[in-house]
């Protein structure tokens, strides 16, 4: 059933949607990605450094909020499917997201843990409601495979731009708490402009309501599938290893490198390198297989972060190289594990789309939980090791958590992947 005013666009195999419509749909991806970054990159330093909250307390708040966010995502998706009005639900979510971002990044003097928790909940709830329905909108706005691919490509391209902008702007806007406050106010018109473009001019979804399939039964069945469960375990350990540096990078740049003014440049290089490396990893996977390509990326990441543990004040050039190489390893983490999961679905359940939703639901849960666990592990660990933001004497403890701990976790993921290579090499099994 279509939402009021929805238009069923004619489709053809060659692609029916004009370029301007595809770009209009992708526009909202920029502010949504823009909003996702500050929670785990900027908020820890703002509340744990500038506002003086305990890092263990900040980590606990972020962990709890992320767990709630991840658990509620499937429920939000199911309820959204029952309503079916994608554009209306996106429109409802955006004011909540905007208010949460302003509260999170421009807190009043004396804001404490309760303010942090409330603002993070507002951001994550608005973000989840908007993102779930925005992604579903892209799937429902076109029937031809080429059109769906174009819509997703536009969304992801704009999302990458949003991440780079969110990473670079705080420093350009003055740095510190002042830069984040300006970022929050700038986010409002950007969100409004991009939302207007998408809501008013993007192709409208042809909405189909959920037939009320047994959600929890499908989720339990997915975890009982042994190869999927092992794949999920490898992905989780590898993801935690990548998320720990994301949570602590601003502390490392400020207190180890003494280069806080360059933090935006470092983050931008990291994400751009990740995007630029994607074609390379596709080619590597075509030659040696996805599993071995992913394993190579894990080992590259370990080598890079082992080097990062040896850096000190002023080692900016070396850290630029580390950002580029670790960003390249990130490209494999983004591209190869989901492709391996798709191989498994095709191998064991050809044409089994009914299972794919449950499987990717757990995948998204783990993606979000990784960041929560990283914050819940890394920030309390820094407190236990005696690290205090702004005091260079405790930089050794920061290097241990930022660089060494991720290497240990990534080596664990690599070892697990290699041990399970015969069970998880789905490409070889399909030949």
Kindly report the backbone phi and psi dihedral angles of residue 65, in degrees, each rounded to the nearest multiple of 5, phi listed first.
Answer: -65, -35
User: For residue 360, what pLDDT is reported?
Assistant: 60
**89: Cα separation from own chain's centroid:** 21
Query: Which residue ranges make up each domain of the chain?
Result: 16-212, 217-431
pLDDT in tens, 161-209: 788 787 777 777 877 778 888 888 988 999 999 999 999 988 886 655 5
Instruction: For residues 23-42, give the mean pLDDT.
Output: 83
Give the CA count within 13 Å in the CB-facing half-sphere of 128: 25
Short-list 248, 249, 223, 224, CA closest to 236: 223
> What is the DSSP secondary-structure string of 93-137?
HHHHHHHHHHHHHSPPTT--HHHHHHHHHHHHHHHHHHHHHHHHH
Q: Give the CA distances from residue 21 to residues 4, 42, 65, in Å, rounded to whole numbers and listed in that order.
A: 20, 34, 36
Residues 401 and 407 sit within 8 Å (Cβ to Cβ): no
Q: Give the CA distances from residue 151 to residues 80, 142, 261, 281, in Å, rounded to whole numbers and listed in that order.
A: 20, 9, 36, 23
* Higher-scoring residue by pLDDT: 99, 390: 99
* Higher-scoring residue by pLDDT: 254, 430: 254
Instruction: For residues 311-324, give the mean pLDDT.
Output: 91
From the options 1.10.3720.10, 3.20.20.140, 2.60.120.260, 1.20.1250.20, give the CATH code of 217-431. Answer: 1.20.1250.20
Short-list 428, 421, 429, 430, CA closest to 231: 421
* Higher-scoring residue by pLDDT: 334, 392: 334
- Three-state SS at 309: coil
Residues 144 and 152 sit within 8 Å (Cβ to Cβ): no
Residues 241 and 176 sit within 8 Å (Cβ to Cβ): no
pLDDT, averaged across the chain:
79
CATH architecture for residues 16-212: Up-down Bundle (1.20)
Same fold, 16-212 and 217-431: yes
User: For residue 411, what pLDDT is reported?
Assistant: 95
Token pair listed for 95: 């004011």
Cα separation, 99 vs 245, in Å, equals 28
pLDDT grade for 406, boundaries at 50, 70 and 90: very high
User: For residue 379, what pLDDT is reported?
Assistant: 84
pLDDT grade for 238, boundaries at 50, 70 and 90: very high
pLDDT in tens, 255-267: 888 888 888 788 8
pLDDT grade for 41, boundaries at 50, 70 and 90: confident
Percent of the chain at pLDDT > 90 equals 17
Percent of the chain at pLDDT > 70 equals 80
Residue 296 has pLDDT above 60, yes or no: yes
Instruction: For residues 60-79, give the mean pLDDT.
Output: 75
Q: Give the CA distances from residue 180 to residues 69, 169, 249, 378, 420, in Å, rounded to whole numbers and listed in that order.
A: 23, 8, 16, 22, 44
In angstroms, the first-to-last Cα distance of the chain is 41
Instruction: For residues 45-50, give the mean pLDDT.
Output: 79
């Amino acid at each position: 059933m279509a939402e009021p005013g929805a238009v069923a666009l004619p489709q053809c195999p060659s692609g029916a949607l004009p370029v301007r419509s595809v770009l209009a749909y992708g526009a909202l991806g920029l502010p949504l990605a823009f909003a996702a970054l500050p929670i785990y990159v900027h908020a820890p330093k703002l509340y744990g450094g500038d506002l003086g909250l305990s890092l263990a307390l900040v980590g606990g708040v972020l962990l709890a909020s992320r767990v709630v966010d991840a658990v509620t995502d499937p429920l939000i998706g199911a309820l959204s499917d029952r309503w079916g009005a994608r554009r209306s639900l996106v429109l409802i979510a955006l004011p909540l997201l905007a208010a949460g971002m302003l509260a999170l990044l421009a807190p009043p003097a004396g804001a404490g843990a309760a303010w942090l928790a409330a603002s993070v909940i507002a951001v994550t709830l608005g973000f989840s409601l908007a993102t779930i329905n925005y992604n579903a909108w892209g799937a429902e706005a076109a029937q031809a495979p080429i059109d769906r691919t174009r819509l997703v490509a536009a969304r992801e391209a704009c999302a990458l731009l949003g991440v780079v902008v969110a990473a670079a702007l705080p420093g350009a806007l003055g740095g510190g708490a002042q830069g984040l406050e300006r970022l929050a106010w700038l986010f409002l018109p950007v969100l409004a402009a991009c939302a207007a473009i998408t809501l008013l001019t993007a192709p409208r979804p042809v909405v189909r309501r959920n037939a009320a399939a047994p959600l929890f039964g499908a989720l339990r069945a997915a975890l009982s599938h042994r190869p999927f469960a092992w794949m999920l375990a490898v992905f989780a350990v590898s993801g935690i290893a990548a998320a720990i540096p994301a949570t602590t990078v601003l502390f490392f740049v400020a207190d180890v490198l003494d280069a806080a003014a360059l933090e935006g440049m470092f983050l931008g290089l990291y994400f751009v390198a990740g995007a630029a490396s994607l074609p390379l990893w596709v080619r590597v996977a075509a030659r040696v297989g996805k599993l071995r390509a992913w394993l190579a990326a894990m080992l590259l990441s370990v080598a890079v972060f082992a080097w990062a543990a040896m850096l000190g004040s002023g080692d900016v050039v070396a850290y630029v190289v580390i950002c580029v190489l670790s960003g390249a390893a990130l490209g494999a983490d983004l591209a190869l594990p989901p492709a391996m999961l798709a191989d498994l679905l095709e191998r064991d359940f050809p044409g089994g789309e009914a299972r794919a939703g449950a499987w990717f639901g757990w995948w998204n849960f783990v993606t979000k939980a990784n960041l929560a666990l990283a914050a819940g592990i890394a920030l309390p660990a820094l407190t236990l090791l005696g690290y205090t933001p702004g005091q260079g004497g405790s930089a050794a403890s920061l290097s241990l958590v930022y660089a060494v701990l991720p290497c240990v976790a990534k080596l664990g993921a690599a070892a697990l992947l290699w041990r399970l290579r015969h069970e998880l090499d789905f490409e070889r099994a399909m030949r």
